[in-house]
Structure 1
Amino acid sequence: MRRVLAAAAALAILCGAETPALAGAPPRAGAPCSATDEEIYAPPAQLPGRPGDVLACTPAQFPKIPGEIPMRAWKVQYQSTDVRGAPVAVSGMVAVPEAAWPGPGPRPVVAFNPGTVGLGPQCAYSKQMSGAYDDAYELDQLAAALQAGYAVVATDGVGYLDGQQHTYMVGHNAGHALLDSLRAASRLPGSGIDPAAPAALWGYSEGGQAALWATQLAASYAPELPLVGTAAGGVPGDLRMVGNELNGSRFAGFAAAALVGFHAGYPEMPFDELLNDDGREAVARLGASCLVDTIFGFSGERVEDYTLDGLTIDEIYALPGPDGTTWGQLADRHRLGDGIGTPGSGARYEIAIPVMQYRGADEQIIPVLTEERTRDAYCRAGVPTRWKPDVDGDHLIAAKAAIPDVLAFFADRFAAKPPADDC
């Protein structure tokens, strides 16, 4: 059991009554944050504001962040935009070191998207970092950024408010939520974060997908953000490939969770009617599970065993929705590296900042081929790309092992040094 718990802890590094504050109007400029913890996770009655507006906030402590780092911190609920272009409320957290930033310029900001934490509402990253969930995990990325003197904002992602389901692996939702967390951080009363401060995006595994989607969407969705670079590791760039590789493996729970997450993002698509009794029970368990149960509760399971007709993942991909769009076409819309280019290229996604992509030398969860294809796509598009495919360890270890390289990359970006390019 000790060995199992150690493995689970290592894997965790993959992966944060109606009141005026929740009635849809952001807190007044300069007003203190006074929402209750329960109100942070309660869906608002209306969303009349702008993406990035703070809908509710409360001072918070995050004892699960490793190390003794004096900081001011908050939980926040803010407005974002879902994959259909509709407004959506998202929860997250903000932390600012108490020590003065030595400069030059305003204190930089790192926007962080955690790796997989599980679909259950209790698994929200901000809840885990505040110790609200007993099985919370210590993640070292935020501590490292804070120790470097940077402000940090971490999004929980879409679907962790009460009564909702996390839209796991829906890249457009994740990218919007990460970009809007930066907007919210500078609009948060009392944060002192300058909206003109240089900002970087960071994520690993699920978070790496989110960070690259934010990178691809930034020019069209949030062109005012002063982004200087992105670090993304262990990236599941092609969801078709990842799903087929994981199905029936030790990490099959991630493939099943992705199907549940996509159903939450695209509820009109065929799903519930495909399931047998075991499938309905599995979906219920996944929807209430955090990371450890997602891994060990579904190890070796196959999607075929959960459907009435024994459908494979590829057969599910072939199924159309009401407008004729298939599951596979939706998955392909979330494949990273398609339609990208540099500013002025006319590409669907124009990328104006350098990126760092990395993976563990002994990667065993995300297919190496999709990680390499994502990197190659960025190189072909002319995006300056730092590539580190030899981080010590496997997928479970590489997130922590890569921290020094990521911080060095960020330091260069914040200092406006010429970007390294391994293409």
Structure 2
Amino acid sequence: MKLRVLLTTAAAGACLAAPMVAVVPSASAAPWACTASDAQIYAAPGAVTGGPGELLACRPTTLPGVPHNIAMKAWKVRYASTDAKGAKNVVSGFVAVPEAPWTKGGSRPVVAFNPGTSGSGPQCALSKQMSGQYVDHYEGPNIAELLKAGFAVAATDGVGYLDGQVHTYMVGANAGHALLDVVRTSRQIPGGGLRADGKVGITGYSEGGAASLWGAQLAASYAPELKVAGAAAGGVPGDLKITAKALNGGLFAGFLADALVGLNAAYPEMPFTELMNEEGEKAIKAVRENCLYGTLAVFLGAKVENFSTDKLTLEQIYALRGPNGVTWGEVIDRQKLGVDIGGPSSGATYKIGFPVFQYRGYFEEIIPHETEDATRAAYCKAGITTQWKNTYPAEHLTTDWLAAGDVTTFLGERFEGKPAQGNC
């Protein structure tokens, strides 16, 4: 199964490869009040009729997982989005708005936030963890930093945390669409006070960093009405083949396991379950039940080759074809970030008209430096204003916290209209 993980990781991005045509949400009937139960927020999707970003249900909540006792109003939300194949889907998340007035001119800005890896169990959704239902997460301090600056936070759980679903871990189009759509959703909450003319920032780290850059790459085509001012992305696994090779058989093979199962959830037509041996079947079950730390413990040192009946290597997996003739390798290659990007007046597939801040820790031990540095280089080559920092004296997880101040400052300066200086 481990082997599939790899696949999953890479394939996730494959979906993202094809940009969506601009999809502006319809002005349909959002709830008059946030009276949904918790069960209704996370209920199975059923038939989806809402347009992208349409608020389907909401309920007031508190966020004990966010430290410093920040005065805020918060809501869990259920909203419509678009999956990697262009079909409608439903996503959960939360929105938090500081009670302190916004005094820096214009409407209060919103930061679209995608968490780092949460795990694939249903209890792992960020909105559940931050509201105190289960605690196996580390993003609370980063969310607090944004709220203290006065920004509203629209956080997506990501696709696949509703009843009966599996999180589509590292599936780029799913992540990018859900991240952009939660901003649309945030402005429909009764009494939320967020306006459509407010500026938007995008941020995330690790899995969230990949989602942040996919959101940045898709913004112009999928959500052109959003006034995106900047995006910040750290610890980004920009090339999943490079990342998979490094993770396979290592201390952090659990990330591959999440990717494997998540990719299968997004692409059930591709070869997956039929390849598994008994250990692979057990591994799939473990992924679906655990959050981050449990998954890492279960898959410590696991190798992809040990989970399939034929002991398939990564390269052999990449050669496998689905019923439409597409190989896993092709799916994975389409996931690579920084491909066919350019400025707003370019002929690139993905047009980015705002500055980007990318970063990694000096002692990064999970995502290979090679791929993080290459993603930054691709943005620079495309002429996108890119700020880069790789000098945080930390490994993967602690870099997420150490960079929070820089991320907040970067986005704040963009909201204030200050020009960004790249350092390519």
Q: TM > 0.5 between the two?
A: yes
Q: Does 1:376 align with 2:377?
A: yes
Unaligned runs of 5+ in 2: 1-25
The residue type equivalent to 2:182 in the other structure is: S
Unaligned runs of 5+ in 1: 1-24
Distance 1:317 1:139 in 2: 37
Q: Structure 1, residues 266-317: CA drift from partner, whole Å, max 9, x if none?
A: 1000001110000000011011110111111111010100010111122111
Normalized against structure 1, the TM-score is what? Answer: 0.92
Q: How far did 1:345 drift?
A: 0.9
Residue 338 of structure 1: aligned partner: 339
Residue 208 of structure 2: aligned partner: 207
Distance 1:188 1:312 in 2: 48
Q: How far did 1:417 drift?
A: 0.9
Residues 128 and 137 in structure 1, CA contact (< 8 A), matched pair in contact too: no
When residues 334 and 43 of structure 1 are mapped into structure 2, their CA distance, relative to the original with a 3 A threshold, is: same
Distance 1:206 1:111 in 2: 14
Residue 12 of structure 1: aligned partner: none
Distance 2:409 2:400 in 1: 15
Residue 242 of structure 1: aligned partner: 243
Distance 1:223 1:310 in 2: 46
Q: Give the secondary-structure state (helix, strand or coil) at the position aligned to 1:51.
A: coil
Distance 1:89 1:29 in 2: 14
Q: Does 1:92 align with 2:93?
A: yes
When residues 328 and 90 of structure 1 are mapped into structure 2, their CA distance, relative to the original with a 3 A threshold, is: same
Q: How far did 1:91 drift?
A: 0.1
Q: Does 1:52 align with 2:53?
A: yes
The residue type equivalent to 1:53 in the other structure is: E
Residues 26 and 54 in structure 1, CA contact (< 8 A), matched pair in contact too: no
Q: Structure 1, residues 115-174: CA drift from partner, whole Å, max 9, x if none?
A: 001011110000000111154556211100001111001000000000001000001100
Residues 114 and 206 in structure 1, CA contact (< 8 A), matched pair in contact too: yes
When residues 262 and 44 of structure 1 are mapped into structure 2, their CA distance, relative to the original with a 3 A threshold, is: closer
The residue type equivalent to 1:56 in the other structure is: A
Q: Does 1:196 align with 2:205?
A: no
Q: Give the secondary-structure state (helix, strand or coil) at the position aligned to 1:187.
A: coil
Residues 360 and 390 in structure 2, CA contact (< 8 A), matched pair in contact too: yes
Q: Does 1:153 align with 2:154?
A: yes
When residues 389 and 170 of structure 1 are mapped into structure 2, their CA distance, relative to the original with a 3 A threshold, is: same
When residues 138 and 406 of structure 1 are mapped into structure 2, their CA distance, relative to the original with a 3 A threshold, is: closer
Q: Give the secondary-structure state (helix, strand or coil) at the position aligned to 1:264.
A: helix
| Range with greater deviation from structure 2 (365-374 or 401-410) | 401-410
Residue 129 of structure 1: aligned partner: 130
Residue 63 of structure 2: aligned partner: 62
Superposition map of 1:240-319 within 5 A? 240-319=241-320
Q: Give the secondary-structure state (helix, strand or coil) at the position aligned to 2:301.
A: coil
The residue type equivalent to 1:349 in the other structure is: Y
The residue type equivalent to 2:387 in the other structure is: R
Q: Give the secondary-structure state (helix, strand or coil) at the position aligned to 1:162.
A: coil
Distance 2:180 2:113 in 1: 10
Distance 2:228 2:267 in 1: 30
Q: How far did 1:392 drift?
A: 2.4
Distance 2:225 2:135 in 1: 39
Residues 232 and 357 in structure 2, CA contact (< 8 A), matched pair in contact too: yes
Q: How far did 1:45 drift?
A: 3.0
Distance 2:392 2:55 in 1: 37
Superposition map of 1:96-111 within 5 A? 96-111=97-112
Q: How far did 1:48 drift?
A: 1.5
Q: How far did 1:223 drift?
A: 0.4
Q: How far did 1:410 drift?
A: 1.0
Residue 388 of structure 2: aligned partner: 387
Q: How far did 1:407 drift?
A: 1.3
Residues 109 and 151 in structure 2, CA contact (< 8 A), matched pair in contact too: yes
Distance 2:356 2:303 in 1: 35
When residues 116 and 136 of structure 1 are mapped into structure 2, their CA distance, relative to the original with a 3 A threshold, is: closer
| Range with greater deviation from structure 2 (220-229 or 135-144) | 135-144
Distance 1:108 1:420 in 2: 21
Distance 1:152 1:225 in 2: 15
Q: Which has the higher contact order (CA 8 A, sep 6+)?
A: 2
Residues 253 and 302 in structure 2, CA contact (< 8 A), matched pair in contact too: yes
The residue type equivalent to 2:38 in the other structure is: D
Give the alignment's Cα RMSD to 1 decimal.
1.3
Superposition map of 1:66-77 within 5 A? 66-77=67-78
